[in-house]
Structure 1
Amino acid sequence: MAGTASPGLVWVLIEYPGAWPPNGFEGLDLDAGTKALVISAAQTANARILLVRRPGPRRLGARRRHGPANWAVLRHQSSGAYQQLWGIWERDEDLAKIASALESPGESGFPPVILVCAHGQHDACCAVRGRPVGRALSERWPELVWECSHIGGDRFAANAVIAPDGVYYGGLDAGSSVTTVEDHLADSIRAEYLRGYTDLLPPQQAAVVAVLERFGPAGRHDYVVTETLREGEYWRIHITGKPPHPAHIDVELRARRTPLRQLTCRAPTEGSVIVYEPTSVRRT
C-alpha cells in the first residue's frame, strides 16, 4: 500500500445522504449551473470533491434528507497549518458558496475530519468493508466521522483519509481502524496501515512509510523529505527528522510494475500498478 495516497491539499465535502452515483458529485441531479461552478472552482484550487454522509442505516430510495445539510472546504497549507470552512445548504444554489470558500484561507482550530470510503456504486468492496469501519469509528468519534465517496485505491478497502491532515490509511477493519485513528489523533502515526501523505509524491510516501517501519511511530510533521533523486528504477530519498527521531535518513527504493491482476471488484479487465520496495533504510 505504501505510496498510494492520492495527491492533494484541499478537499470539498458535500453532505448528501441519498444514493451516490458511480462518479460522485458530477453525477448528482443538481442545478447544472451551480454544479458547473463548484466543479470549476475545485479544479482551479486543485481540490477534490467528496460526497459525505453520517454512518448508519439509510432509507432505500431516499434522494436527500429534508432540511439543511453541511458542506465544507478543508485545506492543508504547505506550512503544515490546517484550515477549514463549513457551511449549510438547502437549495442547490446554496452550494455556490463553496466557490468563494475555495478562495478563502479558512479558519484554524477545528478537529480533523475522518472520512471512510463507502462508495458501493463505485466499487462494492468499499461499501462491504468500509461501512463496518465507519460504524466502529463513529461509535468512538461521532462528530468527526463521515462516510465518503471514492478516494482511490479500492483494492485496499477499507480506506480512510484524515483531512485536512492529508493522511491515507488502508486495509482497515473495525478493530484496527479504532486503534489506528487513536494513534493518529495522538500524533503518533504508525506504518502498518499507512498508505501515505497527500503532500508527497508516491516514492516519497513509500520512503516515509519505510522510515516509520524502521524507527517506529512519529508525528505527522516529524519527518521531512529534503532530497529526491531517481536513477532508472531506483529512487534515493533523504529524510530529516525532529528529535527524538533520527536527524538524517537515506532511503533507497526500487520501483517495479506488478503482474496483471484484477485491481478492484468492478474492474472489467486486469491491470498492473507500480510499487516501491525499500532496499535500504539507514541513518546518515
Structure 2
Amino acid sequence: MSRPAAFRCATAARDRHDDPAGTAARAHGWVLVEHPGPWPFGGFAELPLPGDVIGEVRQAALAAGLRILLIRRHGRRPRPPEFAWAVLRYDADGRHRQQWGSWSDPSGLRGIVAAIDRAGTVGLPPVYLVCTHGIHDACCAIRGRPVATALAAEWPDHTWECSHVGGDRYAGNLLVAPDGIYFGEVTATTAPAAVRQLRDGLVAADHLRGYCDLSAPAQYAVVVVLRRWGPAGRHAIQVTSARRDRDRWTVTLECAAPLPARVTAVVRSFAQPAARLTCLAPTETRGVAWETVSLTSH
C-alpha cells in the first residue's frame, strides 16, 4: 500500500490561488552571515557560536532594524579559509549601501557591530538571496534550490542561498538586497527573467510580493499599479499616504512616467479560509489576503 504524499504548503497555496502580493517582510536592511555548517531551524540565533557574540550582533541588528540571514554559496565548493559577512542597508533615495567583511573565528563577527554604525559603500551590484532553508520548511529547499542553481549559473558572484525570509508557501522566494524587492513563487525560469528585467531598471508585477519599506496595504497597492500599468523602476512609485477605514485602506501613490502621475487605490484585507500555511504547521490558521476595491488614475 502506497503512502500518501507528504503535505507541501507551496503546492497547497497554488491550488488555493493564494496571492503573494503584499506579503514582503519589512526591514531597513539585512545582516548576512556566511556559515559553513547546517543551518538550524532558528537561523543565526541557534548557531553553535559563543552566546556573547550572537547576542552582540543580534542586539545591534535589532536596534538598526536589520534582519539577520545566514548565507552560503550554491553547490559543492571547497571550504574557504574565511567566510563572508555583510551589512546591506536599504535607502529610500535609491542610494543603497553595502559593507562586506570576513570572519574565520567567531570573534570576527564583531566586525558586523561596527559596520552597522558606518555608512557603507554606494553603487555596488545587488545580491540575489534565494531561500533554501529546508529544515525550516521543506518547500523552501525543494523549490528554492533550482532557483539558486539557475541564478548562480548567470550571476555566480551575486547569488547566495539564504535562510528563512518569510512566506514559506510562496516558495521559491527571492530577495534582491539591499533594494528590498521580494519575489515569490519563482522558478528556475521566471527568477532569471525577473532579475534580467530588474538589471534593465524595471520591476514587473509578476511574482512580486512587495517592497521592504512599505506596509502590507501599500505593497499590495504598488503591485496592483504595476499589474495595470507596469513594469516600472524600483523607485518610480512613491506612496504618499495610506489611510485606514476598518478593513479598507485608501492608498495614494505618486508615479513617474510612463505610469499615471497619481493613482488612488482602495484595497481591502480579508481573512482566508483556514488552512495549513507551512509544511510543519500543526493546525490550520487563517491567513490575511488583499483585494482591490477600486483603482483610479489622475
Give the TM-score taking structure 2 as reference length: 0.91
Would you say 1:134 and 2:148 are equivalent positions?
Answer: yes
RMSD: 1.2
Deviation of the 1:34 alpha carbon:
1.1
Aligned-residue sequence identity (percent) comes to 45
Q: Indicate which of 168, 177, 180 corresponds to 2:194.
A: 180
Shift of 1:77: 1.8
1:8-47 Cα offsets, whole Å, 9 max, x none, are: 0210000113200000001110122111111111111111
| Contact 1:207 1:251 (C-alpha < 8 Å) held by counterparts | yes
Answer yes or no: is the 8 Å Cα contact 2:95–2:123 preserved in 1: no
Deviation at 1:138, TM superposition (A): 0.4
Which among 23, 30, 48 is matched to residue 11 of structure 1? 30
User: For 1:30, which of 45, 49, 71 is the aligned residue?
Assistant: 49
SS in 2 for 1:70: strand
1:115-264 to 2 correspondences below 5 Å: 115-264=129-278
Taking a change above 3 Å as real, the CA distance of residues 66 and 167 of structure 1, as seen in their structure-2 partners, is closer
TM-score, with length taken from structure 1? 0.96
1:46 and 1:6 map into 2 onto residues whose CA distance is 12
Whether the aligned pair in 1 keeps the contact of 2:28 and 2:64 (CA below 8 Å) is no
* Superposition pairs of residues 65-84 of structure 1, within 5 angstroms: 65=79, 67-84=81-98
Asked if 2 retains the 8 angstrom alpha-carbon contact of 1:10 and 1:46, the reply is yes
Q: Distance in 2 between matches of 1:5 and 1:19?
A: 26
Runs of 5+ consecutive residues of structure 1 not aligned to the other structure: 60-64
Structure 1: distance between partners of 2:54 and 2:257: 47
CA distance in 2, matches of 1:215, 1:79: 23
Q: State the shift of 1:66 in Å.
A: 5.2
Distance 1:266 1:255 in 2: 26
Shift, 1:58, TM fit: 7.2
The answer to whether the 8 Å contact 2:137/2:280 transfers is yes
CA distance in 1, matches of 2:22, 2:132: 21
Query: Matched residue of 2:191: which SS?
Result: helix
Aligned partner of 1:48 in structure 2 is 67
1:109 aligns with 2:128: no
